[in-house]
Amino acid sequence: MQTPAPRTNVLLSKVRKHFQEGTFFEKSKTFLRRSVLGAPERLRLKYNGGVYEVPNIGQSYFAEGAKTYLEKRAQHEDWCLEHSAVKSVLERLPDGSSVLDVPFGTGRFVELYLDKRMEVFGIEQSSDMIAAAKDALGTKFGSCNVQTGDALRLPFETNTFDLVVSFRFIPHIISYDQAIVALQEFHRVTRRFAFLQIGGREQGVHRRRLPKGHEKMESWLYPSEVEQLLRRVGFGILEKTSPLHTATTTTMQYEKNIGDWRGYFCCKLPC
């Protein structure tokens, strides 16, 4: 009986070769510079409990990241889709309604709010982003009541606003446990509606388990589970948009686009 030839690990062979030749350190620096540090933000991934995700993405909202935030995103197709979705929802509300935008960011929806003569409030954790919003909005910033704060402890009374809007926050900035707390806070401070962007996994795509509390929600949950979560918090779903933003999470096999972020237009259910 012929013994099969041992399998060769190509990567280990290359590592061993560079060690022997004394070029390992230089090759490692080159790889890091070209393949990791030089890659676009959404491709710089780290492994985290069954998924790869963008590390420390919240840092893009501070310092230089805040200054270039709007410029890097304003022309993206998903940015325009989100803009249209918010505009469509606002058309259903009476003029003069109040809105809380969390996180406020650069005030990307402010013009839409002011077109409806809304009272505009915003909560933003980064003072650098608020400064960027002042630059981007000019005199329109003066029509907004924006303050630094924490979405998990909103500094407002219960039933204060007609609408709470939260985009690009729940899926990938805070952990799953924190997302639930944030949703509860949004439910508390709105008296009527909320428009929330949440990620969902494509139906039928394999999942090993539910997300752990410290992991980001991303697109772990199936759509039915997202809807159950919103109902459990106290929201009734009036409408779910088509996909607005492709999820950045990938599987261990680097299978991209396993889910999407959608907008959920919700009403506050009576307690």
**pTM of the prediction?**
0.72
The answer as to whether 10 is a domain residue is: no
Nearest alpha-carbon partner for 141 in 151, 130, 149, 150:
130
SS3 195: strand
- Supply the CATH number for residue 185's domain: 3.40.50.150
For 70, the domain range is 52-248+255-268
The answer as to whether 90 is a domain residue is: yes
Q: Are 233 and 266 in contact (CB under 8 A)?
A: no
**How far apart are alpha carbons 143 and 155 in whole angstroms?**
19
Residue type, 60: S
Residue type, 40: P
The answer as to whether 174 is a domain residue is: yes
SS3 165: strand
The pLDDT profile of the chain, 271 residues, written as one tens digit per residue, is 555 555 555 566 666 776 667 776 666 655 544 444 444 444 444 444 444 444 444 454 444 444 454 555 556 677 788 989 999 999 999 999 999 999 998 899 999 999 999 999 999 988 888 988 999 899 999 999 999 999 999 999 999 999 999 998 998 888 899 999 999 999 999 999 999 999 888 877 777 788 888 888 888 899 999 999 999 999 999 999 988 876 644 333 334 445 788 999 999 998 6
The answer as to whether 72 is a domain residue is: yes
The answer as to whether 34 is a domain residue is: no
The answer as to whether 220 is a domain residue is: yes
The answer as to whether 77 is a domain residue is: yes
The answer as to whether 65 is a domain residue is: yes
DSSP string, 12-70: HHHHHHHHHHT-HHHHHHHHIIIIIITS-GGG--EEETTEEE-TTGGGGGSHHHHHHHH
Total domains present in the chain: 1
